[in-house]
Amino acid sequence: MPSPELAGLAASIDRIWDAGETSDHARALVERVLTLLDRGEIRVAEKTGGTWTVNEWIKKAVLLHFRLSPAQTLRAGDLEWHDKIPLKTGFEAAGVRAVPVATVRRGAFIEPGVVLMPSFVNIGARIGEGTMIDTWATVGSCAQVGRRCHVSGGVGIGGVLEPVQARPVIIEDDVFVGARCEVAEGVLVEEGAVLAMGCFVGASTKIFDAERGCALEPGRIPARAVCVPGTLPAGDGTHGTCAIIVKKRRDAKTDARTALNELLR
Ligand SMILES: CC(C)(COP(=O)(O)OP(=O)(O)OC[C@H]1O[C@@H](n2cnc3c(N)ncnc32)[C@H](O)[C@@H]1OP(=O)(O)O)[C@@H](O)C(=O)NCCC(=O)NCCS
C-alpha cells in the first residue's frame, strides 16, 4: 500500500498530466517526485508477487519535468553543458565508485557497492547493489538493473519514457550482459541469465531454446539461460534473421567466465 503522501502525489501528477498544468505548484510536485527517485525511495518499476509492474505516474513526472523545467548551464571546472536535468552528486556518501567521466543524471538511483566505469545512466534508472556498469555502457531512462550484475563494455540498455504505460527494460539480479549487447523495448532479462557478447534483443527478436528444442516467447530471456547471437530462418525460408539462441543453462564454466574480479571493485 502506498503511503498517503505517495498516493496524494500520484493523484496530483495524474491531474497535472491530464490538465497540462504548468504552475509553480506543479513544478514543485514534479521536483518532489524527482527527489524521491533520486533517493531511491520510489522506483519506476517494481516486482511484487513475482510480477513487474510499472508506476506510470512516476514516468509521467519524469516527462513533465522536461516540459516544466528550462535548460540551465551546468559546469564542472572548465567543462560546460546546457541541460534540463542536473547531474547526480554524492557518490562517496552513497558508497558508489564512479570513475571519471561516469555521468549519472539526477533522478537515477544507484545502490551502494555499484562501480560505474566511464558510462552514462539516465533519469529514472535504478542500479542494484554490487553491479558494475562497464566502460561506455549506457543505461537508458527508467531502465531497472538488478544486484550483482555485470553490464559489460559498450552495452546499450534501452530507455523508455513514452508511451507512459510501456515497461522499461528490466535486468534482474545476477545477470551478465556481454560486451556490446543491446537490450531494448521493455525486454525482461530474468535472474542469472547470461547474454554473450553482441546479443541484440528487442520485443520482436526471435528467441530459440536450442537446449530444449523450442521457440520461446519474444521479449523475455529466461532465468539462467546462456544466450548467444544466432540466426533463425524467416517463415518463407528465403532468408535468415538475427535471433537469440539459448545454448544451455548457466553452469560452473559460465560462472567462471563471467565472474568479476573482486580486485576491480
Ligand atoms: C557466454 C560466454 C560467457 C561463454 O559461456 P560458457 O558457459 O563458457 O559457454 P561455452 O563455451 O560452454 O559454450 C556453450 C555453447 O555456446 C556457444 N558460444 C559460447 N559463446 C559464444 C559466443 N560468444 N558466440 C557464439 N556462440 C557462443 C559455444 O560455441 C557452445 O556451442 P555448442 O554447444 O554448439 O558447442 C562467453 O562466450 C562470453 O560471451 N563472454 C563474455 C565476454 C565479455 O563480454 N566480457 C566483458 C568485457 S567488458
192 lines ligand 1 (CB under 6 A): no
Q: Is the pLDDT of residue 265 over 80?
A: no
Answer whether 152 contacts ligand 1 (Cβ < 6 A): yes
Q: Residue 251 catalytic?
A: no
179 C-beta closer than 6 A to ligand 1: yes
1 compared with 111, residue with greater pLDDT? 111
Question: Could you tell me which of 227, 169, 222 has the C-alpha nearest to residue 197?
Answer: 227
Domain 4-69, architecture per CATH: Orthogonal Bundle (1.10)
Give the start-to-end residue ranges of the domains of the chain.
4-69, 84-250
Distance 196 CA to ligand 1 centre (A): 6
> Residue 106: what pLDDT?
96
pLDDT at 205: 97
Report the distance separating Cα 119 and Cα 97, nearest Å: 12
Q: What is the pLDDT of residue 155?
A: 98
Given the CA of residue 134, which atom of ligand 1 is nearest to it? 48
Decide if pLDDT at 244 tops 90: yes
pTM above 0.85, yes or no: yes
| Contacts of range 239-243, beta carbons closer than 8 Å, 24 or more positions apart | 241/206, 242/200, 242/205, 243/205, 243/206, 243/207, 243/208
> Selecting from 3.90.550.10, 3.40.50.280, 2.160.10.10, 3.40.1390.10, what CATH number does the domain 84-250 have?
2.160.10.10
